[in-house]
């Protein structure tokens, strides 16, 4: 039988020796000199040593029923805005006032909400939660980053410059939208997820009563720009005093709903078809109708010259029938025989 091992008290493990701090090399020591220790590299401090004071956070999410292009546009905005947050899609049956509670749970003070209707119309809400104001836009001509395929690439998380059209300073509702755009799209300084560089520009231009959004990269020191996307057009509908509702501060008189636009297109197509049908009916009536006789024009006989009147001759003898002869020689022989008969009768 194997001998039983006696249980012994666990031996204490030897403590690890604390690493001694590396002594600074003497000033005479050089990398190539004999007896010099290994080189030491010090990590430089971060570039931005400021304090993050403006803690603005933007919640970017959408309702159910959006298409792939809207989903990619939403993802592009989240990529370009490091101070943004995401959330699950909101159900269509929920009221828009619920978004204020969602923003409070996510600790967000601004919100960009994409609302899809009829699987073809896209609306964008920009809101300052929970007090307001908020603005509703119709989004048109959407082109995402992957769709444009333009030359250019900006650093992810870099802070953008915001460029506005001079029209934003002339009218009060545009001035309100400018302040809303600045608070939402500008990345706060010294944000933990942002980079201390400025290499792209967000431009907001007012043309044709719409706001055109473009994103350009600064590629040279002489401020030469290259568009990198995304791009879209915002057609303003209303500006509300509260967040996602409340009294209306401004309503765009030039706005035309997509339903009305599609209805006008259908009416124009129907009018063209109706006009073609009427033209065909008129042509059929003209063909079937009685022809109107035009009176004689007295000027038609002006240039006609009267022909000489010939005396009327009455032929009493039946003319001789001419024989049909194909051979010319036979025809000549017949003519000679007739001439001989005539001479004989005369003689």
* Residue 317 located in a structural domain: no
CA 307, 308, 312, 313 dihedral sign is negative
Q: How many domains does the chain have?
A: 1
* Residue 81 located in a structural domain: yes
Mean pLDDT of the chain: 83
DSSP state letter for 284: H
* Residue 44 located in a structural domain: no
Q: What is the CATH number of the domain that holds 174?
A: 3.40.50.10480
> Tens digit of pLDDT for each residue in 267-323?
999 999 999 999 999 999 888 877 777 778 888 888 888 777 888 888 888 887 776
Q: Cα–Cα distances in Å, from 128 out to 51, 112, 175, 341? A: 24, 9, 15, 131
* Residue 141 located in a structural domain: yes
Residue 9 has pLDDT above 60, yes or no: no
* Residue 69 located in a structural domain: yes
> Tens digit of pLDDT for each residue in 27-51?
444 444 444 455 666 765 555 567 8
* Residue 344 located in a structural domain: no
Task: State which residues form the domain around 247.
Answer: 58-260
* Residue 21 located in a structural domain: no
DSSP 125-170: EEEETTT--EEEEEEEEEE-HHHH--S----TTBPPEEEE-GGGGT
Query: With contact defined as beta carbons under 8 Å apart, do 132 and 118 qualify?
Result: no
> Tens digit of pLDDT for each residue in 170-213?
999 999 999 999 999 999 888 888 888 888 999 999 999 999 99
Query: With contact defined as beta carbons under 8 Å apart, do 120 and 234 qualify?
Result: no
CA 94 to chain centre: 29
* Residue 48 located in a structural domain: no
């Amino acid at each position: 039988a194997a001998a039983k091992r006696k249980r012994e008290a666990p031996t204490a493990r030897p403590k690890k020796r604390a690493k001694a701090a590396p002594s600074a090399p003497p000033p005479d020591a050089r990398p190539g000199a004999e007896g010099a220790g290994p080189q030491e590299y010090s990590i430089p401090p971060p570039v931005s040593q400021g304090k993050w004071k403006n803690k603005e956070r933007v919640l970017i999410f959408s309702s159910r029923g959006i298409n792939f292009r809207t989903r990619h546009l939403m993802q592009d905005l989240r990529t370009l805005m490091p101070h943004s947050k995401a959330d699950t899609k909101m159900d269509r049956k929920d009221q828009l006032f619920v978004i204020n509670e969602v923003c409070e749970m996510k600790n967000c003070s601004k919100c960009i909400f994409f609302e899809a209707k009829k699987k073809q119309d896209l609306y964008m809400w920009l809101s300052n939660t929970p007090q307001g104001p908020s603005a509703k836009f119709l989004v048109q001509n959407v082109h995402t980053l992957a769709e444009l395929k333009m030359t250019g690439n900006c650093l992810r998380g870099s802070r953008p410059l915001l460029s506005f059209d001079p029209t934003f300073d002339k009218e009060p509702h545009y001035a309100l939208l400018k302040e809303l755009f600045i608070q939402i799209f500008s990345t706060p300084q010294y944000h933990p997820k942002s980079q201390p560089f400025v290499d792209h520009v967000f431009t907001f231009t007012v043309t044709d009563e719409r706001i055109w959004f473009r994103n350009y990269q600064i590629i040279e020191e002489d401020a030469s720009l290259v568009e990198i996307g995304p791009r879209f057009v915002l057609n303003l509908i209303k500006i509300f005093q509260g967040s996602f509702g409340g009294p209306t501060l401004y309503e765009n008189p030039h706005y035309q709903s997509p339903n009305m636009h599609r209805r006008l297109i259908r009416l124009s197509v129907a009018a063209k078809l109706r006009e073609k049908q009427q033209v065909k009916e008129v042509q059929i009536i003209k063909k079937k109708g009685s022809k109107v006789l035009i009176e004689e024009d007295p000027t038609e006989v002006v240039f006609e010259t009267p022909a000489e009147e010939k005396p009327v001759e009455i032929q009493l003898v039946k003319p001789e029938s001419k024989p049909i002869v194909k051979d010319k020689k036979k025809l000549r022989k017949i003519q000679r025989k007739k001439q001989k008969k005539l001479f004989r009768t005369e003689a």
